[in-house]
Copies of this chain bind each other. A is one copy, B any other.
């Protein structure tokens, strides 16, 4: 543990870890609408002992960064995200707050309603609504803001909303998610057409009645994965179904600044 004095620390290799910003839909006390919640864990060490922080952990040798993120999330919160993507790597010196230089590879994740129930709440692990966060350790507040920005700019893509809402859903539910995330109103009629035209939704045949009105057809998200050599990991080896949708680098007309990494990562061979 005790690694010498300050001057020695500056030369020491930096600490490296992964952190995860996890986002899920939850109730809004007032408006009956949904809003975003995220799990935080209380720190049990210095610095920032007692402060809330993002779930995270060290790198597991022998596992990919993504697997490490998945594992860190599972061990701290027992959550199994439906979506997991690298966000950014932070490593500026002044974020270490006097400690060792600290590099955090941050992922962001979405969990559906079903998965969110796996969550084990405790004194040191709790959900917080996105707009009522406590004081956070390190620069985690800024990281969260960035993750939220990323979600809001990408939520237009059907798959992201689908990850948040769950396995199957009606178009109204999907629509509500988008409105809850962006905070803006979206014309339902046009939303419906756009989404259906994307070809990424499949009619399950089921119908769902919300009120006592006309039932809505229930859809499922289908990944239009490239037929190529795609290796569906299997982050944990234990997760029953963690279908991460494969998105081909160019296969679809998606301009997104998204990652084709899936296809070119060394594992894909």
Contact = CB atoms under 8 A, between A and B. Distances in A.
A15 B43 CA distance: 26
A102 B2 contact: yes
Interface string A233-269: 1011100100000000100000111111100111101
A140 B5 CA distance: 15
A57 B7 contact: yes
A14 B61 CA distance: 8
A101 B58 CA distance: 13
Interface string A50-66: 00011011111111110
B59 A91 contact: yes
Contacts of A140: 1
A167 interface: no
A62 B10 contact: yes
Interface string A9-22: 11111111111000
A258 to B, nearest CB: 6
Interface of A: 1-19, 41, 43-45, 53-54, 56-65, 68, 72, 75-76, 86, 88-95, 99, 101-105, 137-140, 142, 145-146, 149-150, 152-154, 182-183, 232-233, 235-237, 240, 249, 255-261, 264-267, 269
20 contacts: A1-B19, A1-B56, A2-B17, A3-B45, A3-B102, A4-B17, A4-B57, A4-B58, A16-B16, A59-B101, A64-B91, A65-B89, A65-B92, A92-B265, A92-B266, A94-B269, A103-B105, A142-B265, A153-B237, A257-B258
